[in-house]
């Protein structure tokens, strides 16, 4: 500590042991109110992060929580399609208003800002990261109990921006039952550890398929490794989601909120209970 220290680091150029690192966490819009923020992540694409985010949001809303989904996959947004949202977001007093699903889930995605839903987003990384950050700072999220952030795959610009800039209460890792999954989970675990963000649970998507004739569970993509991985990394909550034609048809048709068999109900309640203690 400097001899003439005033304890006001903002006006001091000295580098000393008492200096606290500057927080990179951004404040949300001044009219927004968000209690819990959970990111849904994976080390690779195509494992079902968007499906997981949507199912968790539906479960949260059904249990009486005000829920939101931030679609942070700017170049491959799929959340609006799952919820049957085709209208565009509108500007409000000093901010952007999220689009509500038919059950009241607040959604913000690149697809609700584009003039045409099928227009490609051909942007460089810095612009993509800045847009995701604006989803947090410029959108008027109203009285949100749980926000789920549907992340793009990997550990690049956007995941790093979200980990550094949003006050994450934890992450949920999505995997599939293949040999490669161990490495994928390890990457996500290592990033969460580096950024000091808790891992709330792990979802194994496409875990099995139920035979329509005999009812047996068939592990068509290999035997499940999720329980062993959860034990190895100390991950508290585990869920296994099967290949379900009703579920995929509902997502493709924009009717994800109508699915009766939500495989993540118990998983969500366990996580919500842990966060609200």
Q: How confident is the model at residue 177 (pLDDT cuts 50, 70, 90)?
A: confident
Question: Given this model, what pLDDT does residue 181 score?
Answer: 67
Which residues share a beta bridge with 41? 173
Is the pLDDT at 20 greater than 50? The verdict is no
Is the pLDDT at 142 greater than 90? The verdict is yes
Is the pLDDT at 106 greater than 80? The verdict is yes
Is the pLDDT at 32 greater than 90? The verdict is yes
Distance CA 20, CA 77 (A): 38
Question: Given this model, what pLDDT does residue 169 score?
Answer: 97
pLDDT digits 0-9 by tens, 266-275 = 999 999 999 9
Q: In 3D, which of 28, 35, 49 has the Cα closest to residue 171?
A: 49
Mean pLDDT of the region 113-129: 86
Question: Given this model, what pLDDT does residue 19 score?
Answer: 44
* pLDDT higher at 72 or 178: 72
Is the pLDDT at 10 greater than 90? The verdict is no
Mean pLDDT of the region 226-255: 92
């Amino acid at each position: 500590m400097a001899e003439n220290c005033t304890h006001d680091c903002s006006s001091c150029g000295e580098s000393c042991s008492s200096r606290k690192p500057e927080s990179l966490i951004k404040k949300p819009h001044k009219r927004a109110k968000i209690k819990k923020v959970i990111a849904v992540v994976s080390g690779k694409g195509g494992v079902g992060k968007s499906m997981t985010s949507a199912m968790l949001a539906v479960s949260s809303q059904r249990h009486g929580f005000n829920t939101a989904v931030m679609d942070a996959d700017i170049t491959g947004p799929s959340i609006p399609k799952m919820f049957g949202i085709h209208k565009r977001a509108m500007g409000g007093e000093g901010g952007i208003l999220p689009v509500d699903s038919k059950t009241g889930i607040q959604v913000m995605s690149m697809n609700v800002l584009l003039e045409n839903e099928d227009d490609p987003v051909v942007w460089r990384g810095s612009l993509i990261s800045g847009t995701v950050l604006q989803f947090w700072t410029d959108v008027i999220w109203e009285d949100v109990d749980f926000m789920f952030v549907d992340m793009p795959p990997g550990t690049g610009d956007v995941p790093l921006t979200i980990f550094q800039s949003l006050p994450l209460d934890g992450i949920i890792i999505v995997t599939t039952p293949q040999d490669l999954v161990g490495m994928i989970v390890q990457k996500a675990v290592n990033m969460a550890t580096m950024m000091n963000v808790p891992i709330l649970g792990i979802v194994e998507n496409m875990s099995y398929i139920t035979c329509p004739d005999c009812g047996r569970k068939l592990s068509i993509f290999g035997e499940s490794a999720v329980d062993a991985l959860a034990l190895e990394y100390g991950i508290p909550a585990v869920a296994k989601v099967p290949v379900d034609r009703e579920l995929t048809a509902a997502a493709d048709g924009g009717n994800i909120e109508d699915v009766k068999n939500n495989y993540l109900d118990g998983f969500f309640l366990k996580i919500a209970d842990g966060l609200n203690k």
